[in-house]
């Protein structure tokens, strides 16, 4: 069974840090474009950060630049999102995703290009 499973979410105070993990099973992430997305209550899903498999370039939305870092460990078949300096506006359900079948076809920030999605993990930033 091909799936992505996230972990690492939780409740954190403003200014704190969390590290999200996303483990793949049933397929290899090596050649996949990977991404992290989030959805806050009442809002549309948005890209947070992603890595293109075509050239290894990364994309991050402006609001998280300098605070969040996406990475991948192909040996562990896992992707990560290190989140530092968290703000209340970062509160959302975070999803990892893999564009595995046609990883070169679309920019990595294109949500509908992704083939596999995790179940989501809640991140709440509150004092």
Q: pLDDT, tens digit, for every residue of 68-87?
A: 999 999 999 999 999 999 99
Answer left, alpha or beta for residue 42, where phi above 0 means left and psi between -120 and 50 means alpha.
left
The confidence score (pLDDT) of residue 103 equals: 82
Compute CA 63 distance to the chain's CA centroid, rounded to the nearest angstrom.
Answer: 15
Q: What is the pLDDT of residues 6-25, one digit of tens each?
A: 999 999 999 999 999 999 99
Helix (H, G, I), strand (E, B) or coil at 94: strand
Closest by CA position to 38, among listed 55, 61, 14, 15 = 61
Q: What is the pLDDT of residues 31-74, one digit of tens each?
A: 899 999 999 999 999 999 999 998 889 999 999 999 999 999 99
The confidence score (pLDDT) of residue 127 equals: 95
């Amino acid at each position: 069974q091909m799936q992505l499973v996230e972990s690492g979410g939780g409740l954190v105070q403003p200014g704190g840090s969390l590290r999200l993990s996303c483990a793949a099973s049933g397929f290899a992430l090596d050649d996949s474009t990977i991404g992290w997305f989030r959805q806050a209550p009442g809002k549309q899903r948005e890209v947070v950060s992603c890595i293109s498999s075509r050239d290894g370039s990364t994309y991050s939305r402006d609001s998280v630049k300098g605070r969040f870092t996406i990475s991948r460990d192909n040996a562990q078949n896992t992707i990560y999102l290190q989140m530092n300096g968290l703000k209340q506006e970062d509160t959302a359900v975070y999803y990892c995703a893999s564009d595995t079948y046609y990883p070169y076809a679309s920019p990595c920030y294109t949500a509908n290009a992704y083939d596999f999605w995790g179940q989501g993990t809640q991140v709440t930033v509150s004092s």
